[in-house]
Amino acid sequence: MVQYGLDYTRCRWIMPLLLGLAMIFGIIALVGWGWVNSETRPFMQQGSLWRLCTEREEWECISLMDFAWGKAAAATFFVGFVIIVICFALAIIAFAIPTLRFNFIRGIGGLCFVAAVFSLMGLVIYAVMVSKYLRENYPGGIRNELSWSYGFGWTMCLMGIGMGFFLCCLPLYEDHILGNVKPYYA
């Protein structure tokens, strides 16, 4: 991959494409309804990053923004998402202009790590605190399931970590990619 990877026009857009995919997963996680599902008799709960609804006879919703932990989870995850959007924009610029490609690509990788840390904090805060909230406020054996939208948040986080590693290591092979190294034939 090092010899033929980013030098070709059709392959150099893989990195911005993957960052765009992480951005789409972040959007799905932010607007998705399925962060947590739980079911205990006679209650059923369903929640997003922003609200938690309980069905007894009819659905009653509370805003998680009324709690400090809800604000913290939403804010840290949203900051991670915004940094991923910034990384996506910078990657488009870096890979569109060939002379700028390796000048600040490590910076984009570092920003991907920062985004992953923020989104990881939001995901952990949400999972721990919503489980604690449900156990304290609904008696009986409650079983929580962190659902599909929460999984998209984790996917964005893990893609940020992977892209950070790749973008930080890529400049080490700059001469190979640009063809400045004499080929070695065994």
Backbone angles phi, psi at 24, to 5 degrees: -65, -40
Q: Which of 65, 48, 14 is closest to 153 using CA atoms?
A: 48
Q: SS3 for 57-124, per residue? A: CCEEEEEHHHCHHHHHHHHHHHHHHHHHHHHHHHHHHHHHCHHHCCCCHHHHHHHHHHHHHHHHHHHH
Q: Which of 150, 84, 86, 152 is closest to 118 using CA atoms?
A: 84
What pLDDT, in 10s, does the model give residues 37-61? 887 767 788 889 999 988 878 888 9
The sign of the CA dihedral 82, 83, 88, 89 is positive
pTM of the model: 0.85
At the topology level, CATH places domain 14-34+65-178 in Butyryl-CoA Dehydrogenase, subunit A; domain 3 (1.20.140)
What pLDDT, in 10s, does the model give residues 83-94? 999 999 998 888
Print pLDDT tens along the chain (186 aa): 445 554 445 557 788 899 999 999 999 999 998 888 887 767 788 889 999 988 878 888 999 999 999 999 999 999 999 999 999 999 888 877 766 666 688 889 999 999 999 999 999 999 999 888 888 877 766 778 888 999 999 999 999 999 998 888 776 666 555 556 676 776
